[in-house]
Amino acid sequence: MGNNSTHTEMELVSLLKSRDSNAFTYLYDHYSGALYSGILQIVEDAELGSDILQEVFINIWRKIDTYEPSRGRLYTWMLNIARNASIDVLRSKSFQNSKKNQSIPDNVDMLKAGSSLPDTDRIGIRKLLEQLKTDHRVLIELAYFKGYTQEEIAEIEGIPLGTVKTRIRAALTQLRTIIK
C-alpha cells in the first residue's frame, strides 16, 4: 500500500509541477480539510483560517517547483507552508491588535456560539497533546502552535535552553508513539 500511494503521490506531484488544473482541484478536494484543520489549530478563527488556506494554495501553486519529494511527503511540505502562514498571521500586528480589541466576554460568546469554528482542542495534534505531560505539552504548544524558537521558549518559561531541548525531544518522541 505504501508503495502504491507513493507512486500515486509521485504522479500527482509531477502533474502539479506542470500546473495541471485537475491536479490542483484534486489536491484541494483531498487536502483542504486537513490543512484547514491544521491552520485553525493555530489561528482559531474560521474567517482568518479561510483567508490563510487560500493563501496557502496560491503558495503551493507558486512554490511547487521547490518541493523536493526526497525530503518528505507532499502533505508534510504543505502542512509546513500552512503552519508558517498561520504563525505569520498570529504574529502580525493587525492580528495582535484585533485580539487586544476583543473584550473577553465577547470572545467567550463567540466560542460558545461556535457556528463555523470547530472545537480545535479536539482535533489534530492538539488532541494528541492531551496525552502528554503538562510541562511537555506547554513546550509543544509554544514551539509548534505559537512558533517560538527554543531560545525564546527558554526565556518565556524561565528554564534552561538544554532542558527545553530535552523536553521537546521527549515530547515529540511520545507524540510519535501516540500517533502510531
Partner 1 sequence: MTTQEYISSGIIESYVLGLATEEERTAFEKMCDENEEVRLARDAFELSLEQKALQNAVSPPPNLRKQVLDKLENEKQPTRNISGKVQPKAPVKTLPTAVSGTKRTSYLAAASVTLLLVSVALNYYYFRQYKTYSDKYDALLVQNAEIVKNDASKQVRLDEYATAMQHLKDPGMAIIKMAAKGVASSPDPNSMATIYWDTRTKDVFLLLNNMPQPSTGKQYQLWAIVDGLPVDAGMVDMSAGLPVAEAFAVTLEDSGGSVNPHMDQLCVIGKVS
Q: Which is nearer to partner 1, 101 or 172 (CB)?
A: 172
Q: Measured between alpha carbons, how far is residue 161 from residues 50, 82, 129, 141 in Å?
A: 36, 27, 21, 16
Residue 64 contacts partner 1 per CB under 8 A:
no
Residue 53 contacts partner 1 per CB under 8 A:
yes
Residue type at 107 in one-letter notation? N
Residue 123 contacts partner 1 per CB under 8 A:
yes
CB of 143 to partner 1, least distance (A): 5
Residue 131 has phi, psi (to 5 degrees) of -85, 0
CA pseudo-torsion sign 67, 29, 123, 48: positive
Note the Cα 159 to chain centre separation in Å.
26
Residues that bind partner 1 (CB under 8 A): 2, 5, 19, 21, 24-25, 28-29, 32-34, 36-38, 40, 46, 49-50, 53-54, 57-58, 61-62, 70-73, 75-76, 79-80, 83-84, 116, 118, 123-125, 127-128, 143-144, 150, 168-173, 175-176, 179-180
